């Protein structure tokens, strides 16, 4: 006999308590982002490979090590989306929305990266995220961050999370900083990892993201980006901090926050928790004013963040589980089952959650109702409906036309 089939490494089934937590995160994020004026977009889970390779950076870990890329049957190179921002920006261009700005986008769904599975991170993982496309002012950055902060608060996990912010500066600042990093790392070139030696030639800021222990020791002595900010970049960063205080979002400055993708400029931020050990980032993002233009569209500034649903769900202590409003338990004869169907139809038409039990016998039906944490059971036979309160055990006969009124009382 063949062994039972198992999920692919780095994937998992989301069922039971995990599914309830997952749904709670998505529904909370959908509701809160709606308060801020964001609309939900759904983009394909796979795109032309260039959507990601052109925008994420050819030397980034995502592109060089983690993307699920394959030729389709027509010979085109296809990639399962490793993140959400590039797909949203591609959709902005494709659908002719670059002339109707701002666009405020909320998204949620699965992402894919080939990396070592770890606590709260899978090869198929799930994200929520927002993108605000159009404005290029610090207030927009602060509002996007405040929206994320409110989601964390309403999930009940903000007490364990701290916002870390940094600035990558404008084009002038980045050019100056790049030159300083090249000079610094060139003096340590012999000690750099093979990967970082390549990055020194193509994108020295990538070395700041290196996970190699030897590289990390060198990076500790590297100059910080704040030393190379232009006057305009300093003003932007100071105004961001002022606006965050206006929104009531606590934060600390962290010059090591650079984010892992090439398209960021100015604001970079992460919400970090100590509750998950070393893998502490639960939400992160930044500003990306050149991304849409890089993809073939006009110059459209943007700011956004992404958050791992899997990690957020792990941090939630308790979720309020909805009680199944009514379990309808018919006797196992044709007339009783027809009466049960009629009762369920009436209840559902009035937006009352109603489920018909398929267990054998009333006793087993009541056991099922208790297991489902139901508040009420409707016991159905050929002659009557009996409404039973499963909290206190009281019960009484009720007419079908009065059933909804009794439940609402």
pLDDT digits 0-9 by tens, 300-332: 999 999 999 999 999 998 776 666 689 999 999
Residue ranges for the chain with pLDDT beneath 70:
57-61, 259-263, 277-279, 320-324
Both tokens of 220, joined, read 């500790």
Question: What's the pLDDT score for residue 40?
Answer: 98
Q: Helices (H), strands (E): how many in the chain? A: 14, 16
Beta bridge partners of 39: 105
Question: What's the pLDDT score for residue 8?
Answer: 92
Question: What's the pLDDT score for residue 2?
Answer: 84
Question: What's the pLDDT score for residue 405?
Answer: 87
Report how far residue 262's alpha carbon sits from residue 61's, in angstroms, rounded to the nearest whole number: 11
Question: What's the pLDDT score for residue 373?
Answer: 86
Question: What's the pLDDT score for residue 152?
Answer: 97
Question: What's the pLDDT score for residue 78?
Answer: 96
Question: What's the pLDDT score for residue 277?
Answer: 66
- Residues 233, 266: contact at Cβ < 8 Å? yes
Beta bridge partners of 79: 47, 69
Q: Which helix (H) or strand (E) holds 380?
A: strand 376-380
- The domain limits of the chain are 16-170+230-315, 326-408
**Cα distances (Å, whole numbers) of residue 106 to 132, 350, 371:** 9, 31, 36
State how beta strands 281-287 and 302-308 pair.
antiparallel
Can you name the CATH fold of 16-170+230-315? BirA Bifunctional Protein; domain 2 (3.30.930)
Strands, DSSP E only, in 288-375?
302-308, 326-330, 354-356
Both tokens of 312, joined, read 């957020």
Can you name the CATH fold of 326-408? Rossmann fold (3.40.50)
Residue 251 in 3-state DSSP?
Answer: strand
The 8-class DSSP code of residue 130 comes to E
């Amino acid at each position: 006999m063949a062994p039972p089939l198992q999920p692919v490494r780095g994937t998992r089934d989301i069922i039971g308590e995990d599914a309830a937590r997952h749904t709670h995160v998505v529904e909370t994020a959908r509701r809160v982002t709606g308060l801020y004026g964001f609309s939900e977009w759904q983009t394909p889970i796979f795109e032309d490979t260039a959507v990601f390779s052109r925008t994420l950076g050819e030397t980034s870990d995502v592109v060089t090590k983690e993307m699920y890329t394959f030729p389709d049957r027509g010979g085109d190179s296809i990639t399962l989306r490793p993140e959400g921002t590039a797909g949203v920006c591609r959709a902005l261009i494709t659908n002719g929305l670059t002339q109707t700005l701002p666009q405020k986008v909320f998204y949620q769904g699965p992402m894919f990266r080939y990396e070592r599975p770890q606590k709260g991170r899978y090869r198929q993982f799930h994200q929520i995220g927002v993108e605000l496309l159009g404005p290029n002012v610090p207030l927009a950055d602060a509002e996007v961050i405040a929206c994320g902060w409110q989601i964390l608060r309403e999930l009940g996990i903000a007490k364990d999370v701290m916002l870390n912010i940094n600035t990558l500066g404008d084009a002038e600042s980045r050019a100056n900083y790049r030159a300083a990093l090249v000079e610094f790392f060139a003096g340590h070139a012999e000690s750099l990892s093979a990967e970082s030696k390549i990055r020194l030639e193509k994108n020295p800021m990538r070395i700041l993201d290196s996970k190699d222990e030897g590289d990390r020791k060198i990076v500790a002595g590297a100059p910080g980006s704040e030393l190379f900010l232009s006057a305009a970049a300093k003003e932007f960063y100071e105004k961001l901090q002022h606006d965050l205080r206006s929104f009531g979002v606590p934060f600390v400055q962290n010059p090591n926050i650079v984010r892992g993708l090439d398209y960021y400029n100015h604001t970079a931020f992460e919400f970090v928790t100590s509750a998950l050990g070393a893998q502490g980032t639960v939400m992160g993002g930044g500003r990306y004013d050149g991304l849409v233009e890089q993809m073939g569209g006009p110059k459209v500034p943007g700011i956004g963040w992404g958050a791992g649903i899997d990690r957020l769900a792990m941090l939630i202590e308790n979720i309020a589980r909805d009680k199944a409003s009514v379990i309808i338990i018919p006797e196992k004869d044709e007339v009783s089952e027809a009466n049960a169907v009629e009762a369920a139809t009436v209840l559902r038409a009035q937006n009352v959650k109603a489920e018909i039990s398929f267990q054998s016998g009333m006793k087993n039906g009541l056991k099922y109702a208790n297991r489902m944490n139901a508040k009420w059971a409707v016991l159905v036979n050929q002659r009557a409906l009996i409404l039973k309160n499963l909290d206190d055990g009281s019960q009484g006969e009720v007419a079908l036309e009065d059933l909804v009124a009794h439940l609402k009382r």
